[in-house]
């Protein structure tokens, strides 16, 4: 698939040089900082030297005082407290964090994760009934609840109080809970708005610890769970999240909780994790518990106090992940075949595929894979509880949620945001929905939005990649949304020495530019360029700079995202 290369506009030269001189760094690095809104020494120090003292006062969050008072009252009166959370990584890490913290201090405590298929996302009537039937008078809800107005009203009729800890956008009306912790509330003056659900849980225990003279170390010991949630829930890695992620990754690589340590061992890697490694190695395993079986297994792993217990749960979850991969690959293959064998589908500006036998737990992953192959808004549908359920993914710049609003008369319900959504409809509406969605997309998407874009941060001469440059570049990590690993462009490079294929279609080579040393490169799924490269033609590359570790030997490697022959 051809991708459009878009080089970011360079900031004002005087500003770039001034910051570079002030920090004694390369102008390419000062350009990257200015792109991130960092324009002076103090901002740069805050960025490059994360400090736990940079964490905000948790009591700046609206309703935090009320939340802590209600929990303290429950503990004083020996009420039963239920820790309730979503079934994804953010939800299960949230529950593990809050449950583990309070379980050390209070015994009348349980946790509850709704069944993905029977109860669905968020607060469920079944969960409230469970609490009522088992004598729970307080539910602390994590990573969900902000839109559960009706469910909280129902809980109130049962005499059950709620403390909601959520990070999603509220609706027009807030639930009638004892406390609603959500920085995205319009009346909340908390300085940072992009915390994960587990991040809100962390602020809750931080506030409780402050109020009750508990040492901060008793809170900081859960930062590995917070980092996992930040990575896997794809929240911004800026401000407070950057601090939490930085120290969480440090803990993950040095002293993770027992469950995480065992999961890392089972995954075959026990150190040097980055945010990206967490997303692709730990995240799918934790998620697989809820996708294939029961997310409670993930919580049991993350709260485990003994290695034997953790290993049993870790092996179970790893097995579920293997099963998930099987479903994922087979459904993706089936869906790709459906599209390839239907000329009309190939020529569309949207993809909607339906098979009533597909596993609901992996249709979101399949939608993402189809979007990688056919770069356009994509929906994967399957049968679920008598209805048809779907998972949708979009492309850069196209508002999927708005498109679904244009189809709402054909849907039972839908929810999500610009780039990802879930939906349900009656089976008899599937054909009409497929046509309507295509009409809406055709009328609103631009041709440019249908071509994948590689955003290039700066032009770089290979000879600029010196040890100091690389050392400072590494300090931009942890990378993630709003602080992505920089993409550079170098022009007129050529192969020096080896160039060949590894794996199925991956290009491995050493490149040089006039006056530079040679740099090892890997270009995944770009083997088609090998004949032209071997013919000795100069070419342009866009790439990330990363450290490659092979048999304990570390070296700089260029991870090539695109190759072009001739001018950009």
The model's pLDDT over 420-469, given as tens digits with 9 standing for 90+, comes to 889 999 999 999 999 999 999 999 999 999 999 999 999 999 999 999 99
| Mean predicted lDDT score pLDDT of the chain | 95
Whether 324 and 286 have beta carbons less than 8 Å apart is answered as no
* Sequence-distant (≥ 6) Cβ neighbours of residue 339 within 8 angstroms: 345, 346, 351, 353, 370, 374
pLDDT at 567: 56
Between the alpha carbon of residue 149 and those of residues 115, 164, 207, the distances in Å are 20, 11, 26
| Closest to 478 in 3D by CA, of 23, 42, 48 | 48
* pLDDT single digits (tens) 321-338: 999 999 999 999 999 999
Q: Which residue has the higher pLDDT, 553 or 491?
A: 491
Report d(CA 175, CA 186) in Å as an integer.
Answer: 14
* Sequence-distant (≥ 6) Cβ neighbours of residue 297 within 8 angstroms: 289, 313, 316, 317, 320
Stretch among 66-75, 140-149, 413-422, 524-533 having the lowest mean pLDDT? 413-422
Report d(CA 213, CA 228) in Å as an integer.
Answer: 27
Region 366-382 average pLDDT? 96
Give percent of the chain with pLDDT exceeding 70: 99
* pLDDT single digits (tens) 268-308: 999 889 999 999 999 999 999 999 999 999 999 999 999 99
Region 348-374 average pLDDT? 95
* pLDDT single digits (tens) 157-189: 999 999 999 999 898 999 999 999 999 999 999
Report d(CA 520, CA 527) in Å as an integer.
Answer: 16
Q: Is residue 568 scored above 50 in pLDDT?
A: no
């Amino acid at each position: 698939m051809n991708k459009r290369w878009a080089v970011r506009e360079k900031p004002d030269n005087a500003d770039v040089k001034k910051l570079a001189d002030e920090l004694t760094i390369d102008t390419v690095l000062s350009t990257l900082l200015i792109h991130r809104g960092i324009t002076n020494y103090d901002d740069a120090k805050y960025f490059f030297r994360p400090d736990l003292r940079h964490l905000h006062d948790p009591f700046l969050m609206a309703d935090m005082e009320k939340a802590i008072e209600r929990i303290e009252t429950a503990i004083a009166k020996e009420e039963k407290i239920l820790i309730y959370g979503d079934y994804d990584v953010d939800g299960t890490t949230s529950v593990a964090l809050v449950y583990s913290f309070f379980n050390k201090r209070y015994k009348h405590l349980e946790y509850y994760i709704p069944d993905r298929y029977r109860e669905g996302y968020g607060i469920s009537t079944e969960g409230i009934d469970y609490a009522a039937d088992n004598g729970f008078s307080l539910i602390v809800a994590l990573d969900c609840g902000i839109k559960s107005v009706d469910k909280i009203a129902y809980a109130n009729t049962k005499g059950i109080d709620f403390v909601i800890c959520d990070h999603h956008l509220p609706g027009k009306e807030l639930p009638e809970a004892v406390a609603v912790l959500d920085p995205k509330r319009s009346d909340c003056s908390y300085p940072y708005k992009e915390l994960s659900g587990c991040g809100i849980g962390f602020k809750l225990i931080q506030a409780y610890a402050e109020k009750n003279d508990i040492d901060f170390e008793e809170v900081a010991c859960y930062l590995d769970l917070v980092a996992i949630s930040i990575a896997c829930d794809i929240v911004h890695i800026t401000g407070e999240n950057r601090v939490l992620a930085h120290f969480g990754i440090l803990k993950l690589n040095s002293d993770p909780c027992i469950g995480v340590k065992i999961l890392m061992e089972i995954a075959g890697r026990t150190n040097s994790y980055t945010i990206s490694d967490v997303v692709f190695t730990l995240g799918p395993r934790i998620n697989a518990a809820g996708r294939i079986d029961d997310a409670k297994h993930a919580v049991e792993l993350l709260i485990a106090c003994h290695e034997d217990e953790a290993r049993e749960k870790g092996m179970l979850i790893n097995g579920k992940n293997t099963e998930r991969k099987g479903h994922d690959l087979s459904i993706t293959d089936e869906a790709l075949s459906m599209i390839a064998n239907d000329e009309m589908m190939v020529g569309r500006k949207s993809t909607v595929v339906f098979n009533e036998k597909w596993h609901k737990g992996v249709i979101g992953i399949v939608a993402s894979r189809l979007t990688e192959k056919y770069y356009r808004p994509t929906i994967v549908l399957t049968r679920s509880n008598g209805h048809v359920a779907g998972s949708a993914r979009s492309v850069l710049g196209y508002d999927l949620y708005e498109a679904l609003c244009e189809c709402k008369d054909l849907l039972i319900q839908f929810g999500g945001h610009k780039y990802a959504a879930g939906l349900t409809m009656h089976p008899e509406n599937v054909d009409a929905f497929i046509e309507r969605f295509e009409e809406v997309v055709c009328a609103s998407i631009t041709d440019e939005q249908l071509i994948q874009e590689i955003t290039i941060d700066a032009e770089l001469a290979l000879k600029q990649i010196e040890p100091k440059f690389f050392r400072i570049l590494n300090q931009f990590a942890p990378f993630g949304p709003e602080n992505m690993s920089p993409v550079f462009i170098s022009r007129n490079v050529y192969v020096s020495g080896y160039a060949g294929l590894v794996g199925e279609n991956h290009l491995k080579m050493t490149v040089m530019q006039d006056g530079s040393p040679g740099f090892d490169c890997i270009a995944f799924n770009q083997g088609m360029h090998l004949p032209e490269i071997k013919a000795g033609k100069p070419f342009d590359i866009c790439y990330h700079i990363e450290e490659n570790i092979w048999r304990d030997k570390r070296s700089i490697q260029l991870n090539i995202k695109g190759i072009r022959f001739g001018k950009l």
